[in-house]
Amino acid sequence: MALLSETPLLKDIAAWTTAGRLTRARFGGALALWLAVMMAGFAAAWLGLRSGASPMLGGGLIAIGLWFAVCATARRLHDMSHSGFWAILVFALFPIGFIPLLITESRAGENAWGENPKGLLKINDPRLLRRLTENAREGSVMHEVGSRDSEEKK
């Protein structure tokens, strides 16, 4: 049985690092995770203050939730081919700043932060694209791309 931290979904969502790229769907999962952790932190801090105990547990959970948010936001920005430092602007415009991260498609191909997590390729060579579309079987996506390109040239 694989450990929870070794499952691909949790490795992406609960990442402690800003390295790499993160898709829109997994970014949404990461947002849900850090919101849940932060809400638990606020509840623990409030209960600690109400009972006269130390609110340290709540503060720790809030800090962990914020770190999840920073890491996920930086990785999502990397997927869009932007520096993670843009996360400062995203958090400054909270919650509106997260909307572009949730609706913008990943950049195709590899960038400075790694390969596309969806496996999308960017084909810049028209000769390669033509060869791929010519050999594509009828009804496939590549065949449709080739048909559309040949109609646009006419």
Q: Is the pTM of this model over 0.85?
A: no
Q: Which pair of structure tokens corresponds to residue 63? A: 């800090």
Q: Collapsing DSSP states into helix, strand and coil, what is residue 83? A: coil
**How would you class 96 by CB atoms within 10 Å of its CB: exposed for 0-12, middle for 13-18, buried for 19 or more?**
exposed
The pLDDT of residue 83 is 92
**What pLDDT, on the 0 to 100 scale, is given for residue 30?**
84
Q: How do the pLDDT tens digits run along the chain, 154 residues long?
A: 445 445 566 666 666 788 888 888 888 888 888 888 888 888 888 887 777 767 677 888 888 888 888 989 999 999 998 998 999 999 999 889 999 999 998 887 778 888 777 766 666 667 767 777 777 777 776 667 666 665 566 5
Please tell me what DSSP assigns to residue 105: P
CA of 65: how far to CAs of 30, 52, 81, in Å? 10, 24, 24
Task: Identify the three-state secondary structure at position 111.
Answer: strand
Q: What's the confidence (pLDDT) of residue 95?
A: 87
